[in-house]
Every structure is written in C-alpha cells, then in structure tokens.
Structure 1
Amino acid sequence: KLIWREEGYIDVMLTYEQSLGNNQLDKDKFISIDIGVNNFISAVSNKENVRSFIVNGKPLKAFNQWVNKLSAKLQREGKEKEHKLLWRYRNKRINQFFASITNLLVSLALKENIGTIVISKGLMEEYQKKSVKGEKFNQTFRVIPFGKFIQMLKYKCDIGGIDLKITDDERYTSKTSSISGDMEKKEFNGKRVKRGLFKDHKTGKVYNADLNGALNIAIKGLGEGIREQFLKLSNWIDKLSRPIKLNLFGKYSASVIKDIADSNSLSGDRRRTFSETFC
C-alpha cells in the first residue's frame, strides 16, 4: 500500500502474517524496566548471568529540546513546510531509538530464555500532562512519546512469546529500598544520598537509584515474592550497583547483547527467526 504525503514523500506499507512465539520461555525469569529521562531505561533481571544495564537518555533529551525550540521558531515565522519536515525528521530519529531499545530487550529475553518483561507507564502519564513548569521544562520533556515506546515493546513481545506486564502504579518505587522497604506500608528504609545513588538505611549499602526503582517495579507488578527470589542470587548486589551503560541514540548493534549476557540458551532456529523479524 502506498500513501502519498503532503511533504512530497511516499510511505510504503507492507502487510504480512507473522506467527507468534511458541511461548516456551521461562515466565519466572524477568527483565524489569524503570523508564526515565536522563536514563531512558534502567533494566534489572533475576536471571543470574544477565547484567543490569542502563540506556542513556540524555541525547534524546537534548534532541527533543532542540526540536521543540526550533519548532516554535518556525511556527512564529510561518514556515509550515520546514516545520513539517522538522517533525518528520524528529519522528524518524525517535522511532529509530525506540526500535534499537526494544530490539535489544526482546532479543536479550529470547536469547536468555526470559519469559517476562515488566514496565511501568507511570512516568508516561506524568510527563505527557500539559505542564506549567516553564518553557525549558516543556522543551525538554513534553512530546517524548513514552506510550509509543511501550506499544512498540508490546508488539515485539507478542511476536516473541514474551509476557509484558505493564503496571499503572509507580508510587514510592523511587524512594523505597527494594531490598528492605515496604511500599504498601510506606516503610521506605532508605533515601537518595546524591544524584543517581540510593542508600539502604537497614543494610547500609548503596545502590544505583534507577536500578533500585526497576526492582521495585518488578515487586509492584509480580508480587512481594520477587524480593526473596532476587536476594537468593549470588550477585544481587552487583545487579543493583554495577550496570552496563549503553548509548543507543545513534546506531544499534546486536553485539551489545554479548556485553550483557554470555550464555547461549537460544536455539539457532529461534535466533534466526528473531533476526529476520526485527534486525
């Protein structure tokens, strides 16, 4: 199907059938994701060999601020054609970024036999509201399509046979210790000691704040038993304090997965199917 656009280009839409995954993945293994801005996603897993990782969101933040500022200027000057071209370019760059992250998440889950991904849409609802916090805040945060990212992830999870658990409630996930706190009772047992770090008052240990939030999102979405399971891992402290940091705003490479996990639990046929679908 061809769709002619006013800007002078054509969208080509292809429709085809895609079989869903065979759903043989281990649903007790999860990747839990905290969505943010400076750190676009922070991910932690209860699969022992899968390292925690953070995808840098600062390039998207700066890009979005630049687009919103230039967009306002073009509108003031009445340059409608240039304004449309700017937003076309902006949408392509953001779609590429989202595709890179969702490809990474789903391919990692399939490779490591992880059957569940947990994510919260609380931040999406907070930032997409009309803001009264000032021009700079609006240029930076507004119109980052967090909802589109979640939709793209859900589509790929469905094809891969991965359960995507979307939680609506993100309250207290950032201020509660995922190891010793209780969000329901508002027993936080910790606080941020500086930007990016969270200190557990009960254990005295310091964790990455966003990874602490990601584990709390898993506890919110999958139940309190997740904490006990996580603490049985021999490397649980490393999982909360030593993430791999990734920059994916430019170009995604499938080799990134090798830095996160070393095992080879995915059969050749399944890996080939995934590559043909997403890469």
Structure 2
Amino acid sequence: MPLITLKAQIHADPQIEAVLKDAMFCATKVYNGLLWHLRKEYKEAGRVNISRKNLNRILKELPRAKGYYSMSVQLTRDEVREAYKSFFTLKKKGLTRHEAPGFRRKNCLSPLKYVQSGFRVDGDKVTLSLGTSREDDVKQVTFRISHRLDVEYERVRELSIAYDKVSGRCEARLVVEVKARENNGTGRVAVDLGETVLMACAFDDGTVTLYSGRLIKAVRRYWQKVRASLKQNSRRWKEIAHREKKQVEHLLHIATSHFIAECVRRGVKEIAIGDLNGIRESIDHGKRLNQRLHAWPYRKLINMLKYKGALAGIIVRDDVEEKSTSITCHACGKVMSSNRRHRGLYVCSCGWKAQADVNGALNIYERAYQVSPVEGSSGRVARPAVVSFLLGWHGVAEPKRGNKALRASA
C-alpha cells in the first residue's frame, strides 16, 4: 500500500504547546549529549564506538532522556549513528576537515519522532506518549490537527512533531497508508530532470513533453538578490528565504500535478527517473554554478512525483543510471560532449539532431526499459510539447492576487 507524508497544523492550548516544545528541547539535549560523550571517548581512546550497546549505555547517564517517549529516544540515538556513518564516509573521501559531527544549537527544538507506537490518531484527535519521569509529571498530551481533506488513508505508520521557526508554531508530519486509485494502464515514461528544463518526459509512443523551469530560476534569482542586501540569518532574511521556498514549492506542485494528470490520461503505469544521488558532490562547475546546483530542489521534485504517483496508482522509480545520458547520442550511442552544441541542441555526426534534454530523456528511457521509444517516430520527437509557467508575482511585498496558469503548446 503506498505511503505518503501529510503535513498537519496542530491546534493546542499554550500549556500543551509548551510541553511539546520542552520534549523537543529534551531531544536536542539527548542528541548533543550523545555527541559530547562520543567526542570525549575519541579524545581519550583514539577511536569511537557507535554501536547501539555503547550508545544505550551513554543514554542512561543523560537525565533529559526521560523527558520524552522511550522509543523516540532510540530514534534520536539512531540519528547520531547515521550522522557518524555519514561523517565517516565523507572523511574517507576527504570531503570534510572536521573531526566529528556538529552539535545542534542549544535553543534548537529537534523533531519528536514516533514509529508504530507511542501515538494514537482518531480522526483529528492525536494523543502522544511522553517520558515516564518528567519533572512536570505529564505522561501524555492530546491535541487536534488539520490537514488536506482530499487524501483518504487507512492508518498512520509514523508521526513526527516539528517546530517551524518562521511561523513559530509546532506542526505534525504523518506518514500514512493510502488507497491508490485503480490503474490498469501499461504505458511507461522516462523523465530527465534539469534546471532550465525542469522535466523532459519521454513517453513510450515517442512523444516528449518539456516542462520549463525558467520561472523557478527567475524566482530564486530574484529572492537571492533581495537577501544579498540583508544580514544573513536575520529575521528579515529568514522571512525572504521562507517566501522563496513557498513560491518554488508552489511552482513544483503545479508542474508535477499537471504531469501526473497527463500520465493518467495516457494510461501510464510506471515512471523512470535518473538517479541523481551524489550529483552535488561529484560535479564541480565553479563557484557560481555550484551554488545553483546546491539550491536545485530535485529531491523535493522527486518526492512530489512519488507521492502524487502513488495516489494515482503509478510506480515512480529513481534508480536509473544517468551518467553521460546528456552527452550520449541516442541514435548511434557515441559519447561526445562536443555534440551538445549549446544549451538546447544536440547534434551528432551520424545525423541525429534533437533538443538536448529530449536526447537525455530518451537515453534514460532506453536504459530503464532496454528499448527505444522512438523507433519510427523521430519526427514527433523533434517537436516536443512544451509546458511553461505564466505567473504574475514578484516583489518583496506579498501580492494580493496572482495569475497562475499553464500553457501547453506543441
């Protein structure tokens, strides 16, 4: 059964919010406490033991570990283990000069995580278990939540409580099992993700749809220029960053919803996406382009496609090897970076000529399904449909009205 994550707003009185914030503060103290003891252990013994047995021993010495649910404490312990594992991997590759994972800020409120147990959800009512030895003797709290109404779920698998610094409120995240829409389609499509062309989608009939990412780039550049004149991490700086994030997410939702609806219309059963894990670490194009790559929200885009696809009964996989797909000729297989003449054109000596992102999407399709989608249909591929954004808001002040629309042209 597909899993999706729902964001929910918490409706609780100030006393219950204070208890939740205190429990989140305890999670931060436990996380930092474990790191402190591991650093001390490394300084004294020259090595660090991140086994669960050793971490459980340290937990017994941390009084704040009794301030929130015991299973959530174990999840904090596992976060520390994963932080060290990632650190060891970076250290081995020479990608970090630090000697240990960093502490969380003292005033940070870490998320409270619950998996399978410690919580109960009845409609809009949520009950959470807390520590058994809290100073205020509060062992559980109950509050209401509200979330999007168009998702029907069977049960809640995981729940986390997080603090949003911008809004100053606590929010809930629910990982739920949903009933997927019945999908009897057999179609397939491959997607090449990019910055200027957000998605190049090659369908199994040889047609390709391009989703423009130019407006997302423009929005990000605009707000980055606004932030450049502000003190980093100031209140105004964070407000601008939050506004940029919301506008980019809005555009991503428009594009992904349109694409999934198109897949449903075409009877698509599976979507294949290139594997982009590690792309930021493996590519060095200079300071300016690297900054753009680090701000590129490809993981958020993939997650949106996955959960929206799950609701429509479409399988979304992102494990297709993407190496060299943008410089490989789809017709003859020749790998030559010079064939990519400029940003939007790929020309090979064999006679193959196509839009560069279309060429990449076709290569991903062939790698995913071991067959070419364009046999006998190169004419349609040469003129892909282009979906672009028409949006009318920019500026520091919140607009009263926005003109949001999609235009599709063949």
Q: TM-score, normalized by length of structure 1?
A: 0.73
Cα distance in structure 1, aligned partners of 2:335 and 2:293: 28
**1:159 corresponding residue in structure 2:** 311
Alignment map for 1:232-271 (pairs within 5 Å): 232=376, 236-248=377-389, 250=391, 253=405, 256=408
Cα distance in structure 1, aligned partners of 2:344 and 2:235: 42
Q: 1:31 Cα deviation (Å)?
A: 1.9
Cα distance in structure 1, aligned partners of 2:205 and 2:172: 38
Q: 1:219 Cα deviation (Å)?
A: 1.3
Cα distance in structure 1, aligned partners of 2:354 and 2:283: 33
DSSP 3-state at the match of 2:270: strand
CA contact (8 A) 1:165 1:221 kept: no
Gaps of 5+ in 2: 1-7, 11-162, 392-402
For the pair 1:214 / 2:355, whether they are aligned, the reply is no
DSSP 3-state at the match of 2:278: helix
For the pair 1:40 / 2:193, whether they are aligned, the reply is no
Q: For this pair of structures, how many residues does the alignment match?
A: 238
Which of 86, 95, 110 does residue 264 from structure 2 map onto? 110
Which of 184, 192, 212 does residue 24 from structure 1 map onto? 184
Q: What's the Cα RMSD here?
A: 3.1
Q: Which has the higher contact order (CA 8 A, sep 6+)?
A: 1
Identity %: 20
Alignment map for 1:154-233 (pairs within 5 Å): 154-181=306-333, 187-188=334-335, 191-202=339-350, 204-223=351-370, 226-227=371-372, 230-232=374-376
Change (3 A) 1:111 1:177: same
DSSP 3-state at the match of 1:74: coil
DSSP 3-state at the match of 1:25: coil
Change (3 A) 1:132 1:56: closer
Q: Which amino acid counterpart does residue 2 of structure 1 have in structure 2?
A: Q
Name which of structure 1's ranges 244-253 and 210-219 shifts more when overlaid on structure 2.
244-253
DSSP 3-state at the match of 1:230: coil
CA contact (8 A) 1:54 1:243 kept: yes
Per-residue CA deviation, residues 131-176 of structure 1 (Å, 9 max, x unaligned), is: 6722x33453322221011011001111111121213521121111
Cα distance in structure 2, aligned partners of 1:242 and 1:252: 25
Per-residue CA deviation, residues 212-250 of structure 1 (Å, 9 max, x unaligned), is: 110101112222xx12x5304xxx213321112222263
CA contact (8 A) 2:195 2:296 kept: no
Q: Which amino acid counterpart does residue 375 of structure 2 have in structure 1?
A: L
Change (3 A) 1:72 1:34: same
Which of 204, 209, 212 does residue 53 from structure 1 map onto? 209
Bigger radius of gyration? 2
Cα distance in structure 2, aligned partners of 1:146 and 1:62: 16
For the pair 1:95 / 2:249, whether they are aligned, the reply is yes
Change (3 A) 1:130 1:208: closer
Q: TM-score, normalized by length of structure 2?
A: 0.51
Cα distance in structure 2, aligned partners of 1:41 and 1:128: 22
CA contact (8 A) 1:100 1:252 kept: no
Change (3 A) 1:167 1:22: same
CA contact (8 A) 2:205 2:374 kept: no
CA contact (8 A) 2:223 2:240 kept: yes
Cα distance in structure 2, aligned partners of 1:211 and 1:31: 12
Per-residue CA deviation, residues 65-104 of structure 1 (Å, 9 max, x unaligned), is: 333343343235xx62111211211111111111111111
CA contact (8 A) 1:115 1:162 kept: yes
Q: Which amino acid counterpart does residue 374 of structure 2 have in structure 1?
A: F
Q: 1:53 Cα deviation (Å)?
A: 1.9
Q: 1:121 Cα deviation (Å)?
A: 3.1
Q: Which amino acid counterpart does residue 9 of structure 2 have in structure 1?
A: L
Gaps of 5+ in 1: 182-186, 261-279
**1:141 corresponding residue in structure 2:** 293
Change (3 A) 1:176 1:18: same
Q: Which amino acid counterpart does residue 209 of structure 1 have in structure 2?
A: A
DSSP 3-state at the match of 2:329: coil
Q: Which amino acid counterpart does residue 133 of structure 1 have in structure 2?
A: G
**2:220 corresponding residue in structure 1:** 64
DSSP 3-state at the match of 2:179: coil
CA contact (8 A) 2:387 2:407 kept: no
CA contact (8 A) 1:33 1:119 kept: yes
